[in-house]
Amino acid sequence: MATKEKLEAYFQSSGPFKEGLGKLRSIALKCGLEETLKWNAPVYTREGKNVVGILSFKNHYGLWFFNGVFHSDPLGVLQTAQEGKTRALRHWKFKIDDPLNPAAVQKYIEEAIEIEKKGLKIKRKKTGKREVPQELMALLLADPILSEAFYNLPPFKQNDFSDYITTAKQKATRERRLQKIIPMISKGIGLNDKYRK
C-alpha cells in the first residue's frame, strides 16, 4: 500500500477521534507542510525535517512537536512525552470532548515551523558505554561472528541494544527481545536505525 493510501486509511479509521484528527490534518496542510507517514502515523515536514506529527491513542489524540521544548507554549498545553527520557518532544493532547481551536493550533504549528527554520535542536548527550547485559553477553561469547558484528557497531548503537534488553522486566520479554536483535546485530543494523534519517 502506497504512503498516500496509508495516510487516507489512517484518517478514515480513527474511530471517535476521526473529526478532530481531520481538523488537525487540515491545519497542518494549510501551514504548507509536507505530509508523510513515519512510525505508522502522519508526520508533517519542512524540507525533509520533522516539524509536527498527528497521533491517535486509545483515550486521546493530538499533536506532537518534535522540538516542542523550544516552544513558548502560551496556553500551557504542551506536555513532556516521557518524563526523564524525552528531551525535545512535546505533546498537545485532546480528549473526545475537548474543544479544538483551529486558530490556536495553527499558531502553535507556525511557531514549530519557525523553530525548525532556526535550526534549534537539543544536542545529543554524550553517554558512556553501558555494561552489556548478561543474556546478551552470553550470546556474544558463544558466537564470535555475532560478537565481532556487535563490537563493530558504534558505542551508541551498542548502548541501544543493551538498554533494550535491560529495560525488559520479565525474563520472557528479555528472551523475545534477544531473539529480535540477533539478526539486526548480525546485519550491522542498529535498533533505532529506521528512526534516524
All three cell numbers of 63? 499533536
Q: Please give the pLDDT value at position 129.
A: 72
Q: Please give the pLDDT value at position 1.
A: 67
Q: Please give the pLDDT value at position 185.
A: 95
Residue-wise pLDDT tens digits, 98-109: 999 999 999 999
All three cell numbers of 187? 546485519
Q: Please give the pLDDT value at position 82.
A: 62
> How far is residue 135's CA from residue 144's CA, in Å, rounded to a whole number?
15
Q: Do residues 23 and 14 lie in contact, with contact meaning Cβ atoms separated by under 8 Å?
A: no
Largest CA distance in the chain: 60
Q: Please give the pLDDT value at position 41.
A: 85
Residue-wise pLDDT tens digits, 72-95: 999 999 998 666 656 888 999 999
> How far is residue 24's CA from residue 113's CA, in Å, rounded to a whole number?
15
Residue-wise pLDDT tens digits, 16-73: 999 999 999 999 999 999 999 887 789 999 999 999 999 888 889 999 999 999 999 9
Task: Tell me if the domain spanning 3-118 has CATH number 3.90.1150.200.
Answer: yes
Selected residue with higher pLDDT from 197 and 174: 174
Q: Please give the pLDDT value at position 107.
A: 98
Percentage of the residues of the chain whose pLDDT score is greater than 90: 62
Which residues of the chain form CATH 3.90.1150.200? Answer: 3-118
Q: Looking at this protein, which amino acid is placed at residue 23?
A: K
HSE (side-chain half, CA atoms, 13 Å) at 143: 16
Mean pLDDT of 169-176: 91
